[in-house]
Structure 1
Amino acid sequence: MCGIVGLFDTRGQREIDRQLLGRMNQTQVHRGPDEGQLYTEAGIGLGHRRLSIMDVSSGQQPLFNEDGTVVVVFNGEIYNFQELAKELVALGHDFRTHCDTEVIVHAWEEWGELCVDRFRGMFAFGLWDRNREVLFLARDRLGIKPLYYSLLNDGTFMFASELKALLAHPDFRRDMDPHAIEDYFAYGYVPEPKTIFTQGLKLPPAHTLKLHRGQSTLRPRQYWEIPFTPNECTSVQEAQEELIVRLRESVKIHLMTEVPLGAFLSGGVDSSAVVAMMANLMEEPINTCSISFGDPAFNESQYAQKVADRYQTQHNMEQVDADDFDLIDKLASLYDEPFADSSAMPTYRVCELARKRVTVALSGDGGDENLAGYRRYRWHLYEERMRSMLPLGFRKPLFGVLGNVYPKADWAPRVLRAKSTFEALARDSVEGYFHGVSIMKDRMRQRLFSASFKRSLQGYDAVEVLRMHAGKCPVQDPLSLVQYLDMKTYLVGDILTKVDRASMAHALEVRVPLLDHKLVEWISGLPVSLKLRGQEGKYVFKKALEPYLSDDILYRDKMGFSVPLASWFRGPLRQRLNDALMGPTLADTGFFNKAFLKEMLEQHQSGRRDYSASLWSLLMFESFLRNVLDAEQPRVRKNDLKVA
């Protein structure tokens, strides 16, 4: 696990500023504290920060082929590198190390840009081929590892593992993208391929980018898609048995390491399943780590302890204090752009705890998206059944009017809120799902933003993110569609981003066996009835795990890895929230309607409404402005802050 950075002159062979490259590389020292190396030649410079996991004694990067004409910087793990190395040796390639990085340069020599089709793992890399004068970037299929890039006005192309490395370049403009701001307040993160900055982009998952010297047009190429091709399982029993075989195989390849290894154990189904498989594959006791909360409504530590006791792990647990608020500004700096998932706080702490004992940890991330574990999937299918009764052309005007005139009833159970039901019936499928996942609904965002900021959007609405992906989805089944949307947006933009930054802040490598692409492909082909049956999400997964986990682990209500924001904002964080929302930082942007900010504060703190998720998104945006945007320049004033 590492940090990578690169500079490339697309227009010629200008000398690379080695000191600048070094400063950019050094911003990512937390990703690789063991070693740092640079390489430059005419028009190209590559940098690497190393966290030694495989072939600890060698495998330094940048790493070259036999004659030095191909060089790579790499972040991640190629789990099938040994079988690929054997194939490449048989084809005449000479290996000098025993690390997975070297497979990349020889695979490029042999198969060119199709080499990524051969890799099984999590990866982001930049490769320079001197003979072809080609810079080649690639990101893994599910987006486990990040990769940012930018093309500057002078023709300099740069890439890095984190935005902070791009921000270290003096010519990188900090103008914010108004579309990204709209997206952020809808989703709580900035979805791929945007960043908060107009001049920065993320390479989407399952994409490559090839640049020739003299080329200034950037055209990422997609090399993989979630197939949803029906598989050959003919019964529930057969699917259960095959699922355990495939899960165990995925966990097994993720155990490959030369350093101490453990697992996160929340007490939920997914992390417990990973630990159960590890226990059957490892001879020594597993190091497991979990975080507890003082508030019992958010605390599932007792379930983690049950799994730890069953599999006799070396379990480590710490409690997140209710006043652990110093992390707010630290997290803003860590993520480099606004990020509103409050579970980033306990995630940061569990990574900190794990790093005291291990260098590599396995997690259960990806199970909910793969196997339909979220409660919102059940609600979406309920709404879809209602929508299917009438054509959209009839539903939209009729129920749109009823939704507008009917009073709100937030106090009532969701199924009894007539206003919400009418509004849901007026939407199409994508709009309906977007409404369900938005942390700030359309009506709120309309009130949140100032008139001048809304003009800068030029009619753009964040629902377009989901519409773009829905147009590419290979299936139209309602459940598979929303799973696909989550895997293209929420999984990569929120879950995987959160874990990558929190773990890398502590030089901890986190691996996600439930997102092995071969396992994802197979699960995508299961009948939807085996994923969501009645009210039971992850149906076949839970049935398959019954011999390994107790019913109170498998069939209790999902809690999630969240923090008690609502009570924090009415208690210990009350004044800090007031200062942030009513202070000069947000006001000076000119983006927001101050009267609505005040209304949200008053209604939440009086207990009349629960605006906790929306308020957190504003708190983190304010922290981003202070800690990232203004970090190396004077405090911005309203007239100075730019949106493109």
Structure 2
Amino acid sequence: MCAIAGIFHYGTPKPVEAARVERMCDAMVHRGPDGGGVWTAPGVGLGHRRLSIIDLAGSPQPMASVDERAIIAFNGEIYNFRELRRELAQAGAQFRTDGDTEVILAAWQRWGVDCVKHLHGMFAFALYDRAARTLFLARDRLGVKPLYVAHLSDGSIAFASELKGLLAHPLLRRDVDPLAVEDYLAWGYVPDHRGFLKAVEKLPAGHYRLLHHDRALASPVQWWDVSFAERRKGREADLSAELLHLMRQAVTSRMVADVPLGAFLSGGVDSSSVVALMAEASHDPVRTCSIGFDVAALDETSYAAKVAGLFGTDHQSGTVGSEEFREIDRLAAMFDEPFADASALPTWRVCALARERVTVALSGDGADEALAGYRRHIFHAREEAVRHMLPAPFRNRVLGGLGALYPKADWLPRPLRAKTTLLSLADSGEGGYARAVGITPPELRQRLYSPDFLALRGDYRAEMPFEATMRQAPARTGLDRAQYADLKFWLPGDILTKVDRTSMAVSLEAREPLLDHRLIEFAASLPQRMRIRGRQGKWLLKQTMRRYLPDDILFRPKQGFVTPVSAWLRGPLAGQARAIAAGASLNQLGWFDARTIAKFADDHIAGKSDHGRLLWQLLMLDRSLRNLGVI
């Protein structure tokens, strides 16, 4: 796992200062503390920071092909590199190293832009072809590894694994995109279709860009997509056997490393399944770690300990409490762009705990999106059934009217909190699911913004691109479309961003076997009843894993990595909540109505409403703006 950075000039091939590229890489030294390098030629420069995982001494980067025609800076892991190496060698390719980087170079020389279709793994890389005078930027299928691209004031392009690499370039403009603020307030992160700074964009997952010195800027090209339009046929036993085979294949391929390896273990279905298959494939005890909370209702370490005992793992656990929020500035600095998923804090801590003993850790991320494991998937499937039964005018007028009148009663038991459900049913399937995924709904954002910001935002709403993703999905049902949007929107923007930044902050490589693209494609083809049955999501996965895991692990209510930020902002962090309302830094931007924020904070502290996530969003926005030098 590494960091890459570089500069590319259009038109006249201006010289690229190696020291400038080196400074961009050094801003991301945490991603690659084991070494670095820079390569430049007229009009182009590539830089690299390395975290050594495979071929520890033999694969320095940037790396040139044997004939020195192509040069690459690569971040990630190619899990099928040995099979590809044999295939390419049989076709005449020569190799000087034992790692996966040189395999990408050989694949480029044989297949060109189609080389990415042969790569199984997580990656973001920049490859310069000296003969064709092209720069090839590519990102893996699901977006496990990031790649930021900036348009600089001199007309050139810069790229980096993190925004902080681009911030090290003196020509980067730091103007905030107001539509990114709207996106952030809706979702709690800035989705991949937008950069927080106007001059910066992200290469989308499953896309590449081919840049030429003497041509206009090329748009991203999609090279992979997942389809929910087909349905796999077969008996449940046969589908279960195929799922288990794909999971075993995914786990064992990600256990290849020349450094110590372990796993995150939360005690949930997904991480427990990964650990079970690791234990099955390993001669030695698997190193596992977990993090709990100082709020008993949200602490799952006892389940993690139970699974660790079942498989005889070498287990370690820790606890996160409200005092950890003294590190809020460090947390904000990891992400550069504002990021309000409060589970980033315990994720960072579990990564740090893992890094004490290992350099690579496997996680259970991806199964919820692929196999319908979120509670919202079950609700959405039920709501879609109601939408099909009730005509849209009735839903809009009657249910929408009731939803508008129904109080936001956060203190009531969950079954009685009907406001969100009524508003969701009144909307389209796409609009209802966007409401389920979002953090701050449109009507609340409308109250929060100042008149000046509303004018800047114009007619745009953050839900628009999400709903468009659902409408355009290759899918059959509403659940299909919801899962597709999760894989395209939520997964790279929130989950994978969180794991990448927090793991890389402590120089730990995180691998996600349940995001193997063959497993994702198989899951997308499953009949809906193999994903959701009754009140159970991930049906086929749970049935498959009953041979390894007890029912009280498989079928207990899903908890998730829920951080008790709302309780903390009423208790030990109430001062932080009041500081957000009184903060002059956010107020000076003129984006928000200060009185509305103050009321939200007072109502939250008094227990009248639950605005914990919104207050946390505003707090992280404030810290991010400070780190970026905007305020």
Range class of TM-score, shorter chain: over 0.9
Residue 583 of structure 1 corresponds to 583
Please say if 1:388 is aligned against 2:388: yes
Contact persistence 2:265–2:289 (CA under 8 A)? yes
Moved more, 539-548 or 423-432: 423-432
Number of the residue aligned with 1:243:
243
Q: Compute the displacement of 1:321 (Å).
A: 2.8
Task: Tell me, in whole angstroms, the C-alpha distance in 2 between the residues paired with 1:291 and 1:622.
Answer: 27
Shift in Å at residue 425 of structure 1?
2.8
- Give 1:87's aligned residue: 87
User: What TM-score comes out, normalization by structure 1 length?
Assistant: 0.96
**Distance in 2, Cα, partners of 1:559 & 1:348:** 19
Alignment of 1:181-580 (within 5 A): 181-228=181-228, 230=230, 232-417=232-417, 419-580=419-580
- Cα separation, 1, equivalents of 2:140 and 2:407: 47
Distance 1:144 1:407, change over 3 A: closer
For 1:407 and 1:345, the matched residues in 2 are separated by 32
Q: CA 1:229/1:475 → structure 2, altered by over 3 Å: closer, same or farther?
A: closer
Deviates more, 1:149-158 or 1:117-126: 149-158
Shift in Å, 1:231? 5.5
Deviation at 1:152, TM superposition (A): 1.8
Say what the alpha-carbon RMSD is for the aligned residues.
1.4
Which amino acid in structure 2 is aligned with residue 400 of structure 1? G
Q: Are 2:2 and 2:48, in contact at CA under 8 Å, matched by a contact in 1? A: yes
Measure, in 1, the Cα distance between the counterparts of 2:110 and 2:100. 16
Deviation, structure 1 residue 19: 1.6
Match of 1:6 in 2: 6
**Aligned-pair distance for 1:393?**
4.2
Counterpart for residue 150 of structure 1: 150
2:65 counterpart of 1:65: yes
**Post-superposition offset of 1:577:** 2.4
Question: 1:642 is matched with which residue?
Answer: none
Distance in 1 (alpha carbons) for counterparts of 2:218 and 2:365: 32
Residues 232 and 527 in structure 2, CA contact (< 8 A), matched pair in contact too: no
> Structure 1 residues 306 and 138 mapped into 2: Cα distance closer, same or farther (>3 Å)?
same
Corresponding residue number in structure 1 for 2:176: 176
Name the CA distance, whole Å, in 1 between partners of 2:427 and 2:311.
Answer: 48
How far off is 1:256 after superposition? 1.0
In structure 1, the gaps of 5 or more residues are 631-635, 637-644
- Answer with 564-573 or 361-370: which moved more: 564-573
Amino acid in the other structure paired with 1:608 = K
Deviation at 1:406, TM superposition (A): 4.4
**CA displacement at 1:413 relative to structure 2:** 4.2
Aligned-partner Cα distance in 1 for 2:579–2:479: 42
Counterpart in the other structure of 1:620:
620
Answer yes or no: is the 8 Å Cα contact 2:240–2:544 preserved in 1: yes
Length-normalised TM-score, structure 2: 0.98
Matched AA of 1:490? W
Q: Provide Cα deviations, 1:138-171, integer angstroms capped at 9, x if missing partner.
A: 0000000001101223221111100001111111
Residues 1:566 and 1:407: Cα distance change in structure 2 (over 3 Å): closer
CA 1:399/1:307 → structure 2, altered by over 3 Å: closer, same or farther? Answer: closer
Q: Write the distance in 1 (CA, Å) between the matches of 2:97 and 2:229.
A: 38
Structure 1 residues 408 and 3: CA distance shift in structure 2, 3 A: closer
**Distance verdict in 2 for CA 1:335–1:386, change over 3 Å:** same
Cα contact 2:248–2:277 (8 A) shared by 1 = yes
SS in structure 2 at match of 1:489: helix
Q: Where does residue 25 of structure 2 map in the other structure?
A: 25
2:422 and 2:320 mapped to 1: Cα distance?
Answer: 41
Go from structure 1 to structure 2 and tell me whether the alpha carbon gap of 1:270 and 1:2 turns closer, same or farther (over 3 Å shift). same
The alpha-carbon distance between structure 1 residues 101 and 405, as it changes in their structure 2 partners (threshold 3 A), is: same
Displacement of 1:392 after TM fit?
Answer: 2.5
CA distance 1:599–1:241, change in 2 (3 Å): same
CA 1:130–1:571: 2 relative to 1, 3 Å: same
Would the aligned equivalents of 2:228 and 2:476 in 1 still touch at CA under 8 Å?
no
SS at match of 2:378: helix
2:176–2:197 CA contact under 8 A, matched in 1:
yes
Q: Which amino acid aligns with 1:589?
A: L
Question: In 2, distance between residues paired with 1:408 and 1:287?
Answer: 45
Measured in 2, the distance between the counterparts of 1:421 and 1:319 equals: 35
**Residues 1:232 and 1:396: Cα distance change in structure 2 (over 3 Å):** closer
Q: Deviations over 1:184-223 (max 9, x none)?
A: 0000000112111111001000000010112232310001
The CA distance in 1 between the partners of 2:423 and 2:449, in whole Å, is 22
With over 3 angstroms needed to count, the CA separation of the structure-2 counterparts of 1:569 and 1:40, relative to structure 1, is: same
Question: In 1, Cα distance between the equivalents of 2:551 and 2:436?
Answer: 29
**Is the CA contact (8 Å cut-off) linking 2:578 and 2:602 kept in structure 1?**
no
| Structure 2 residue identity aligned to 1:491 | L
In 2, are the aligned partners of 1:372 and 1:538 still within 8 Å (CA)? yes
- Cα distance in 2 between the residues matched to 1:113 and 1:80: 18
CA contact (8 A) 1:581 1:619 kept: no
CA distance in 1, matches of 2:4, 2:266: 31
Structure 1 pair 418–350 and aligned structure 2 pair: CA distance change class (3 A): closer
Q: What is the CA–CA distance in structure 1 between the aligned matches of 2:610 and 2:417, rounded to whole Å? A: 16
Residue 21 of structure 1 aligns with an amino acid whose one-letter code is: V
1:293–1:414 CA distance, 2 compared to 1 (3 A) = closer
Distance 1:277 1:421 in 2: 39
Contact 1:581/1:618 (<8 A) preserved: no
CA contact (8 A) 2:348 2:502 kept: yes
What do residues 417-438 of structure 1 show as CA deviations (whole Å, max 9, x unaligned)? 4544442232001110111121
Change in Cα spacing, 1:13 to 1:593, as seen in structure 2 (3 Å) is: same
Whole-Å Cα distance in 2 between the matches of residues 213 and 420 of structure 1?
52
Deviations 1:309-338 (A, max 9, x none): 111111011111331112211111110100
Question: Where in structure 2 are there 5+ consecutive unaligned residues?
Answer: none
Q: Check conservation: 2:229, 2:476, Cα contact below 8 A.
A: no
Distance 1:554 1:407, change over 3 A: closer
Structure 2 counterpart SS, 1:609: coil
Range with greater deviation from structure 2 (178-187 or 233-242): 233-242
**Which digits, 9 at most, give the CA deviation of each residue in 1:551-602, with x for residues without a partner?**
1111111111122112211111111222233111111110001111011001
1:43 aligns with 2:43: yes
Aligned partner of 2:61: which letter?
A: Q
Aligned residues of 1:470 and 1:485 also touching (Cα < 8 A): yes
- SS class of match (1:195): coil
Deviation of 1:476 (Å): 3.3
Distance 1:418 1:495, change over 3 A: closer
Show the counterpart of 1:639.
Answer: none
Structure 1 Cα separation of the partners of residues 290 and 235 of structure 2: 36
* Structure 1 SS opposite 2:322: coil
- Are the counterparts in 2 of residues 155 and 216 from structure 1 also a CA contact under 8 Å? no
The structure-2 alpha-carbon separation of the partners of 1:408 and 1:291, relative to structure 1 and needing over 3 Å to count, comes to: closer
Q: 1:506-547, CA deviations, whole angstroms, 9 ceiling, x for partnerless residues?
A: 110000000000111111111110111010011111111111
SS at match of 1:629: coil
Query: In the alignment, is the contact (CA less than 8 A) between 2:84 and 2:103 conserved in 1?
Result: yes
Moved more, 71-80 or 474-483: 474-483
